């Protein structure tokens, strides 16, 4: 295999020699370490698809962590390895290491987690080649080759640079092939998700209420569906109570992942905070309008398709006016297609 260790990549001399003697057809076992919650797990799908294309004879093992198992792409892997997570801290260190070693010897390991736990797993596991994408260049000693990670590029694309390093040309835009069927409804609908993993990442409910009320008035032939999360701060009742007189505003509660996927796939557009639900929409090729104000958006912002964000350079909370204008622009483009 030819090596393309250009600027932005690093590879050891030993790795150069290993790759020079390695043929794609001879790679039989590949492990991908992805210890991540739902959203980041979904962004791994294009990377797994490209691995399968470039190494057609390889068995793919995905290593996850026990406390994060939502959205595992069973359809894209051959084996699953589960490392002990935060929910199994009572287990002895010896048993945790034994569980890590169950990953087994691999031809290539891709560490696309870059967490302390994934680095330990990578260190104790045997492989002909270990490739990672750490944030710090000083951490490259853990691997045979690295792509320096950045928060200024969409992560689904950044992961694919690890395959570009090996000479593979990945599809663009990334292909997610998200399984599931869109829900069937009599009327088109816009989906709104008001929650997030932390209360401080949530756009204020009063602003969501104003936005939904305005859009429900502008688009009377469209249903406006509010998707409720699991945490107590993700309740949609305050919005529904204030908008109960609007007959095209409704709530969706207690949906499992399969049901949520069906609604996301069927939506005209999803309006959401920075959450796994938004990544689910991206993976489902549903247009998204993301709301960012506590973090820089580029890591989770696809710069293709009908994906937009509301973000102020000073990191202040975006206004209802900004969200309304951007959402109307997406809907206009959809109807003109």
Does 217 share its domain with 300?
A: yes
Is residue 269 within 8 Å of 29, Cβ to Cβ?
A: no
Does 137 share its domain with 253?
A: no
What does 200-241 look like in DSSP terms, one character per residue? GGSPPHHHHHHHHHHHHHH-TTSEEEEEP-SSGGG--HHHHH
Q: What stretch of H or E contains 1?
A: none
Closest CA to 274 of 29, 18, 40: 40
Instruction: Report cis status (omega within 30 of 0) of the bond before 173.
Output: yes
* Residue 144 placed within a domain: yes
What confidence tens digit (pLDDT) does each residue in 17-56 have?
A: 998 888 999 999 999 999 999 999 999 999 999 999 999 9
* Residue 2 placed within a domain: no
* Model pLDDT, residue 40: 95
* Model pLDDT, residue 1: 81
Q: What is the C-alpha separation between 82 and 240, in angstroms, rounded?
A: 40
* Residue 267 placed within a domain: yes
Listed as ranges, residues in the chain with pLDDT below 70 are 4-6
Residue 270 β-bridge partners: 191, 288
CB atoms within 10 A of CB 173: 15
Cα dihedral 72→47→193→187 (10° resolution): -100
pTM: 0.94
- Token readout for 313 is 């350079």
Q: What is the CATH number of the domain that holds 253?
A: 3.40.50.2000
* Model pLDDT, residue 6: 66
Question: Which among 164, 197, 217 is the end of a domain?
Answer: 164
**Number of domains making up the chain:** 2
Percent of the chain clearing pLDDT 70 (strictly above): 99
Residues contacting residue 91 through CB under 8 Å, at least 6 positions apart: 84, 99
* Model pLDDT, residue 303: 94
Q: How do 145-147 and 9-11 pair as beta strands? A: antiparallel
Domain span at 16: 9-164
* Residue 170 placed within a domain: no
């Amino acid at each position: 295999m030819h090596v393309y260790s250009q600027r932005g990549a690093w590879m050891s001399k030993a790795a150069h020699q290993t790759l020079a003697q390695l043929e794609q057809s001879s790679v039989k076992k590949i492990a991908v370490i992805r210890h991540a919650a739902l959203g980041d797990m979904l962004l791994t799908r294009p990377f797994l698809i490209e691995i399968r294309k470039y190494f057609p004879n390889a068995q793919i093992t995905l290593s996850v962590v026990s406390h994060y198992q939502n959205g595992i792409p069973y359809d894209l892997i051959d084996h699953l390895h589960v490392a002990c997570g935060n929910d199994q801290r009572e287990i002895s260190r010896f048993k945790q290491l034994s569980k890590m070693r169950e990953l087994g010897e691999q031809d290539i390991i891709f560490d696309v987690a870059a967490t302390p736990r994934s680095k330990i797993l990578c260190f104790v596991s045997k492989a002909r080649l270990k490739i990672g994408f750490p944030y710090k260049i000083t951490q490259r000693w853990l691997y045979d080759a690295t792509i320096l990670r950045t928060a200024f590029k969409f992560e689904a694309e950044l992961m694919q640079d690890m395959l570009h390093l090996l000479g593979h040309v990945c599809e663009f835009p990334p292909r997610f092939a998200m399984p599931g069927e869109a829900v069937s409804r009599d009327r088109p609908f816009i989906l709104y998700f008001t929650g997030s993993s932390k209360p401080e990442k949530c756009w204020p409910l009063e602003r969501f209420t104003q936005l939904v009320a305005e859009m429900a008035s502008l688009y009377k032939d469209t249903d406006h569906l509010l998707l409720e999360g699991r945490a107590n701060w993700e309740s949609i009742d305050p919005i529904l109570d204030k908008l109960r007189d609007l007959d095209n505003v409704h709530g969706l509660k207690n949906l499992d992942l399969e049901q949520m996927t069906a609604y996301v796939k069927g939506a005209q557009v999803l309006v959401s905070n920075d959450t796994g639900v938004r990544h689910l929409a991206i993976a489902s090729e549903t247009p998204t309008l993301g709301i960012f104000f506590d973090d820089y958006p580029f890591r989770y912002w696809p710069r293709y398709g009908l994906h937009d964000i509301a973000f102020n350079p000073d990191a202040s909370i975006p206004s209802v006016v900004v969200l309304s204008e951007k959402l109307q622009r997406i809907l206009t483009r959809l109807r003109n297609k």
